[in-house]
Amino acid sequence: MRKFIAAVIVLVICDFLAYRYLIAIVSDRKAFSFNPLIQPLIIQKKLIVLDTVDDFCFEDFFIFYSFSDPKYRYEFRDNRILIQSEGIEFQYPYCVREAKTELVEKTIYKEVYIEKPSQQTYESSGNDNSIIGNDENEYFVLIKNSLSFPLETEISEIIKECQRSVDTDMQTAIDYSELNPNQIGQYAVYFYTKTGEHRIIINII
């Protein structure tokens, strides 16, 4: 009987000590903090070709992997996109498409009045000059059939020379819509009067 009572007392003392130990462990416990050392990962999905830099959308070109909330910032510098995240910098090349220029042909008619100090009477001859007259003594004479100018001559200078190549007292309109002084070639400049159309060939050399 005495042995039984002694065993019970020993068990009670062991339970009390175990309980105190558990209380001490619970009070001293600390939360485990996981700080991964793995760097964020950025994967480029496709080449970065933009119409303008304002069209750039990060998610369209990159996939971002990180153990924490993805935080990044980017900027454009010297044809590259610089992306910074968690103290790490990534660089990726990009390009901007060149704007397409559509050439639109436009006919330009400019009406120019050519005044002469006095009227002259011309008779037709065997050359190629155009001499037009009517009953009211109005006339149109094309003195030169062609003119030559160096490349990139101002249009205003060419038109002045064209005017000097005409002798008339008629109202005359000039059409130089086909003229391109910035490209070598032959172009026609037209004079329109009430008697018809007359042409001078302009050679850009």
- Give the CATH number of domain 109-204: 2.60.40.10
Domain boundaries, the chain: 41-96, 109-204
C-alpha–C-alpha distance, residues 189 and 44, integer Å: 57
Instruction: Look at the block and give the residue holding tokens 């037009």.
Output: 132
Neighbours of 79 (CB within 10 A): 9
pLDDT in tens, the chain (205 residues): 777 787 878 888 888 888 888 887 777 777 666 565 667 788 888 888 888 888 888 888 988 887 777 678 889 988 889 888 878 888 899 888 876 555 555 545 454 554 443 434 333 333 344 444 454 678 888 898 999 999 999 998 999 999 899 888 888 888 988 899 999 999 999 999 888 889 999 999 8
Token duo for residue 150? 């160096």
Q: Give the pairing of strands 49-50 and 95-96.
A: parallel
C-alpha–C-alpha distance, residues 192 and 166, integer Å: 12
**Residue 93 near residue 79, CB atoms below 8 Å:** yes
C-alpha–C-alpha distance, residues 31 and 9, integer Å: 37
Asked whether the whole model's pTM tops 0.85, one would answer no
Which of 33, 45, 32, 41 minimizes the C-alpha distance to 86? 41
Q: Give the pairing of strands 109-113 and 171-175.
A: antiparallel
